[in-house]
Amino acid sequence: MSAPLHIEAITGVILAGGRGSRMGGVDKGLQNFNGVPLALHTLMRLSPQVGEIMINANRNLAAYESFGVPVWPDSTGLGEYAGPLAGFLTALERVETPYLLTVPCDTPLFPQDMVARLARALAREDAEIAVAAAPEEDGQLRQQPVFCLMHAGLLESLVHFTKGGGRKIDAWTAQHKTVTVPFNQPGDNARGFFNANTLAELHQLESRQP
């Protein structure tokens, strides 16, 4: 078992670099959730859980920079909008802490103790990667691979994987010692990992808030 991780050792990256194609091509991270842009809401929810934060975005960079944290577009040579792993790569190239935590910008209700639980599992299992798992609509517990805590030293592995054409997160994490962390405990929000792919789903999430 490794020593517990302190939040100062973890940098969080908010993944806002996608096309937003299922939202009609709008910049998903700038759509409002309860009056606050999704990416800013994510930043505020994540801030108490990590030491540093950056945003991965590929357009409207000035709008993201106004949130007060570093903003980095994809710089990986994987082509335009190459998916979440492009954001992983960009963040691993920039991170200055020993660990990196990835979160998407479109899942506004992720747990406020998520990073602590991922970090405990990573240390307990002496793993390289910890991935969240949550129940989906059918009740089955499934990995949520965009919620991923990893050692910053995995950059070379990810470069090799993506240069070989790999694009799926779980195919990459399967190459490393990975612990799956369930978020189906009493008190966990059943919709904590529900992501809003459309504006209708985003409004649905808003309407279910207390």
Q: Residue 79 pLDDT more than 80?
A: no
The architecture CATH gives domain 7-207: Alpha-Beta Complex (3.90)
Q: pLDDT tens digits for 120-175?
A: 999 999 999 999 999 987 878 999 999 999 999 999 999 999 999 898 999 999 99
Least confident interval from 65-69, 85-89, 136-140, 183-187: 136-140
The structural domains of the chain, with segments of one domain joined by +, span 7-207
Lookup: tokens for 92: 């691993």
Q: Can you give the pLDDT at residue 197?
A: 85
Question: Sorting pLDDT into bands at 50, 70 and 90, what band is 86?
Answer: very high
pTM summary value: 0.94
Mean pLDDT over 61-69 rounds to: 98
